[in-house]
A and B are shown apart, each in its own frame.
With several copies, the nearest count.
Chain A
Amino acid sequence: MKLYEYMAKGVLAESGVPIPRGRLCRTPEEAAAACRDLGPVAVKAQVLVGGRGKAGGIKVADTPQAAEAAARQILGMDLKGYTVGSVYCEQKLSISQEIYLSLTFDPSAKRPMLIASASGGMAIEEVPEKAIIKRGIPVAWGLQPYMAYQVARRIGLGATLAREFSDIATKLYRAFVRLDAELVEINPLAVVDGHIMAADARLNVDDDAMARHGDLPKTDEATPLEAKVRALGLAFVQLDGDIAVMANGAGITMATLDVMQHYGGKPMNFLDAGGGSATGPTAEALAILVSTRPKAVLVNIFGGITRCDDVARAIVQVRQNQPAAKDVPLVVRLVGTNEAEGHAILRGAGIDAFRSMQQAAERVVALAGEGLAGAEAARGDTEGDLAG
């Protein structure tokens, strides 16, 4: 879960990291008031996507009138698909140097890692590799001040700034661990009047650890459809195609999308129905997908623990309960435990059932009227590879 900048700054402040004075504002009037209190401010859109500066989501205002006008422009603005609901008004800084600092994890070394660069202010991907210092952190001992100091010296900070950097980095590390963060990024870590403060902040908390952070504010990047399906406990990502897809297991679901795309189909979503034996949430998710009126639906189940007959029954039920579902072409690929029974149930309800992933993919693309293989695959209808 990503935190908004103002939330992340709150965490930093609690952790003892210096931040500029600022205030969250939800109306232009509040922005004007903030500017009256803080003096000249930067009015910053609070969104969970990066690159807001270039997209016009940050404006500097020297007067309350200007702050009000800036907030009026930014509030409600569409930034990369997300509507801006609030702005953070923060005292304007006179920055003499911009440093990059982040804490994240190194999957290869299986430990946290400190990343720093003297080239702050730009996205880290754009900084040349040789201007970036990465320092692995031993899990058992955590980030010690000397480690951060060494890094600070290597990116060329003077003795005083290096000490401040070290202090900030170690405090940040404690917050990183305490909050189960995946990423804490301060970019820029700004030098103002010879001292360091966090001029921006990103903090992403590990979704798998949210249960131990009930006190954290909640944010959500999901679309309404994503929120609805995820509420069932399933992994779901909305894509921009028109064929709904469901499979069991993340890898097989990705492969199913790949195969379908290979035949010219455009997937509408990623839906991993999970490897468990319960068909309840799966059926609900399928019902939701069907209700969005895709051009066609492809279900790809490799039955291990999941029993094919259970899956088949759930699919038939979805089709029966949803009048709309009758019109949506449904293609099912079903193999594994109780495969024959599953195929029999589906055929009984007039639903296409395949053993071959290839044929199922070709068929669904054809039914959706898409792809080069469309015309050909449509003929596959009659030679459907029925379960033995």
Chain B
Amino acid sequence: MSVLGDEKTRVVVTGATGRQGSFHLGQMLEFGTRVVAGVTPGRQGQEVSGVPVYDTVETAVEKHGANAAVVFVPGTLAKDSVMECIDAGVPLVVVISEHVPLHDAMVINAFAAERGTTIVGPNTYGLCAPSARCKIGIPPNSIFQSGPVGVVARSGTLSYELVGSLTDAGLGQTTVVGMGGDRVAGLNFIDMLKRFERDPETEVVVLIGEIGGTAEEEAAEYIKGMSKPVIAYLAGKSAPPGKRMGHAGAIIERGRGTFESKVSALTAGGAKVAQLPWEVAPLVKGALKA
């Protein structure tokens, strides 16, 4: 089982005819994801990898019962596309788009909250539920394997690295989710931890965080009450304050969001924090045995 995305998930891809959208639409199909439609205004009637393209999300939902969307449009257009998905009644919207303006991200989240929509991202790689053959987003297909580990992360390639190391160690995943690297994100650590805690198939949770913000500190509070073990890894130990390390959110500002603060909060919360990336898989293995 998975906690987000399953066999019944029918995905519509917005920005489907773009370079990124069309490539990943194909990759998702290859993984087994039920991609039912693409959307690019003005391209109705075309196909991408055999999937029909429509002008509006509304039409894609009407014709194909899409119940998840993945957004590939450029950052400044993402707000419109995401709001269109929400308004069309799509309950899960994964926003791959990078450089979504901060105020747009706030509007997206407020509109989603009003309508009860789950937003993943922006600036995320998406999510993958290996046992359901449901990948919504851009991670490489090869790294996943079905198993008992739930993974939630802020960073993309670091997730690939660590999920790859889990898979290499024979540790498959229930669901892997990227929250995205932006400062204002939809689904957060706590939302996912709650889902993993409830999910009967998830036995251990891997939390991949980084410097900046207080999401990890807030997660630590929740972890205190969890019955399942949490293994954490945090990037940015060597980052100087005041510098934005690639991700909009990865910046130590005004003394908040430091590596030390996060490690001590997570440790206090009962999570085991790996010092180096390759320590994660052994810690997970240990937790599974316990």
Contact = CB atoms under 8 A, between A and B. Distances in A.
Contact of B235 (A138, A159, A206, A255): A255
B173 to A, nearest CB: 16
B159 A163 contact: no
A250 B42 contact: no
Contacts of B20: 276
Contacts of A303: 140
Interface in B65-117: 75-76, 79-81, 83-84, 87, 99-107, 109-111, 114
Nearest to B140: A304
Contacts of B125: 275
A110 B112 CA distance: 11
A76 B134 CA distance: 59
B102 A182 contact: yes
B184 to A, nearest CB: 5
Contact of A357 (B159, B161, B183, B185): B161
A206 B56 contact: no
B245 to A, nearest CB: 5
Interface stretch (B3-11, B148-156, B192-200, B222-230): B148-156
Given A153-B56, A275-B138, A358-B278, A146 B81 contact: yes
B255 A250 contact: no
A258 B155 CA distance: 15
A140 B236 CA distance: 35
A149 B237 CA distance: 42
Nearest to A206: B102
Given A177-B103, A250-B250, A275-B156, A304 B110 contact: no
A110 B109 contact: yes
Given A253-B245, A254-B245, A357-B278, A144 B106 contact: no
Contact of B99 (A110, A123, A208, A358): A208
B76 A237 contact: no
A235 B157 CA distance: 15
Nearest to B76: A211
A15 interface: no
A150 B181 contact: no
B55 interface: yes
B191 to A, nearest CB: 12
A251 B208 contact: yes
Contacts of A302: 157, 160-161, 164
Nearest to B256: A125
A149 to B, nearest CB: 6
Given A110-B184, A251-B247, A304-B140, A141 B111 contact: yes
Given A304-B139, A304-B160, A258 B235 contact: yes
Interface in A278-306: 302-305
Interface string B107-149: 1011100100000000001000000000000111011000000
A124 B26 CA distance: 47
Interface in B237-254: 237-240, 243-250, 254
Contacts of A252: 155, 157-158, 160-161, 235
B56 A146 contact: yes
Interface string A158-179: 0110110000000000000100
Most central of A145, A255, A267 by chain B CB within 10 Å: A255
B100 A208 contact: yes
Contacts of B154: 251
A335 B101 contact: no
B276 A262 contact: yes
A144 B157 contact: no
Nearest to B190: A108
A150 B54 CA distance: 12
A254 B243 CA distance: 12
Nearest to A179: B103
A177 to B, nearest CB: 6
A172 to B, nearest CB: 15
A259 B185 CA distance: 27
Contact of B80 (A125, A145, A206, A261): A145
Given A111-B106, A335-B164, A251 B156 contact: yes
A207 B100 CA distance: 10
A209 interface: yes
Given A125-B254, A208-B75, 16 more contacts: A146-B81, A159-B43, A209-B101, A235-B244, A237-B244, A239-B243, A250-B250, A251-B159, A251-B210, A252-B160, A262-B276, A270-B246, A275-B125, A275-B156, A302-B164, A305-B138
Interface of B: 20, 23, 41-44, 55-58, 75-76, 79-81, 83-84, 87, 99-107, 109-111, 114, 125, 138-140, 142-143, 153-161, 164, 181, 183-185, 188, 208, 210-211, 213-215, 218, 233, 235-240, 243-250, 254-255, 275-278
Interface of A: 105, 107-108, 110-112, 123-125, 138-141, 144-147, 149-150, 153, 159-160, 162-163, 177, 180, 182, 206-209, 211-212, 235, 237, 239, 247-255, 257-262, 267, 270, 272, 275-277, 302-305, 335-337, 356-358
